[in-house]
A = this chain, B = another copy of it.
Amino acid sequence: MEKTGNAGGGLSTLTGPVEIIGVGLLGTSVALACSSAGIEVLLSDAVASHVRTATGLGAGRRRKDGDQPQLIVVAVPPAHLGEVIVKALRENPDAVVTDVGSVKASPLAYVREHSPRDVSRYVGGHPMAGSERSGPLAATSALFEGRPWAVTPHADADPRATQLVDELAALCGGVPLSLSPEDHDQAVARTSHVPHLMAALVAGRLAVAPEGHLGLSGQGVRDVTRVAAGDPGLYGQIVAGNARAVTDLLTEVRAQLDEMIAAVGNGDAAALDVLLKEGQAGTRAIPGKHGGPQTAQAIVYVTVPDEPGNLARLFADAGESGVNIEDVRIDHDPGRPVGVMELVVAETAADQMQAVLESRGWVAHR
């Protein structure tokens, strides 16, 4: 991922230096991506040892007096975001400032209030990437590879500042998506925060299940509840930062839930059908792989003895079919050491995949 910079570029071409304030997982990952693209990276953190660690990883060097960053990336915890952004804007009157926080309206409001004449140089960002781990040692320049990266210009943003943040996202391997800060916060409420919260409620009912009832759990409930396994402390903070959009949407969900309870309780099949059909339409509204429309897919189920090497053999055999595998999943087995693998392929290719696998001795079905 070489940077092919415009030699005569001004503000709107990312040439560096880039300063990273806060060298945790996200900050250090951005630093590594910039460094490996040949851009000079300056590192700052309230914890001095973090800077030493990030420096040791080749992420950049400590910022010194006289350094003049072109772009500053603020990657500190949500509670300090506004404050650190304002400080960076004031102390670097020529720099563009962005951040990587998961909500976008509140930091902008903070900048408008505390440093209104600098607001044109602040354009927020939000890479949709993360890890179960945290801290600089978990960082990697590959973290953003292929992930959406929201860039959130506002009415007073300098277009050259926006351009610079777009370039940063692309340089890190992300896919820049432009949204207003308010639209961003509503969008993540819908695509991330509310799904997480509802998953937590469904999972919460599992926590209080009578003995033995969870033995009937299949892949469906595992999928629905998986995200709820995430850190409650962290997720609570994220949701708190987007309280308005989240409560608005949760209130919509509650109205729908009331309709659903009435429909099921009254045996009103037509009313339930409306709700289920809207849900089905929603699953189809999620952008398809590669951003294109979703294509009709089918699942080929394959029985796989649960030992190292068998998956390799399966994928080698599946590869011989010439059919592209769109998604995969291992369905867990409650009683014995065998797994059922779900291979998601284009519907038109499912028979071919099944036939190839069966010809090589796999037990496969659709």
A residues in contact (CB < 8 Å) with B: 128, 131-133, 138, 140, 142-143, 145-148, 150, 175, 177, 179, 183-184, 186-188, 190-192, 194-210, 212-218, 220-230, 232-233, 235-237, 239-240, 243, 246-247, 249-254, 256-258, 260-261, 264-265, 267, 269, 272-273, 275-291, 298-299, 301, 303, 306-309, 311-312, 314-316, 318-319, 321-340, 363-366
Contacts and interface: CB of A to CB of B under 8 A. Distances in A.
Contact of A198 (B196, B202, B303, B321): B202
Contacts of A298: 132
Contacts of A177: 212, 215-216, 334
A220 B290 CA distance: 17
Contact of A278 (B200, B277, B322): B200
Contact of A222 (B128, B258, B286, B312): B286
Contacts of A175: 333-336
Contact of A148 (B194, B218, B314): B218
Nearest to A325: B311
A201 B228 CA distance: 17
A161 to B, nearest CB: 21
B334 A287 contact: yes
A307 to B, nearest CB: 7
Nearest to A262: B247
B273 A363 contact: no
Contact of A213 (B140, B143, B186, B288): B186
Given A200-B278, A326-B330, A363-B145, A217 B286 contact: yes
B279 A225 contact: yes
B319 A308 contact: yes
Given A191-B221, A257-B257, 14 more contacts: A145-B303, A198-B202, A202-B253, A203-B279, A204-B278, A205-B252, A207-B278, A207-B285, A223-B223, A223-B226, A224-B224, A312-B315, A325-B330, A328-B329
A225 B239 CA distance: 20
A146 B333 contact: yes
A192 B215 contact: no
A216 B366 contact: no
A203 B277 contact: no
A73 B138 CA distance: 55
19 contacts: A132-B366, A177-B215, A183-B213, A184-B216, A190-B206, A191-B218, A205-B282, A214-B286, A215-B291, A217-B286, A221-B286, A224-B227, A228-B280, A232-B276, A232-B277, A250-B264, A291-B336, A308-B325, A312-B319
* Ranked 4 nearest A-B pairs via Cβ: A200-B279, A203-B282, A175-B335, A232-B276
A201 B275 contact: yes
Nearest to A199: B224
Given A177-B215, A254-B261, A312-B312, A279 B146 contact: no
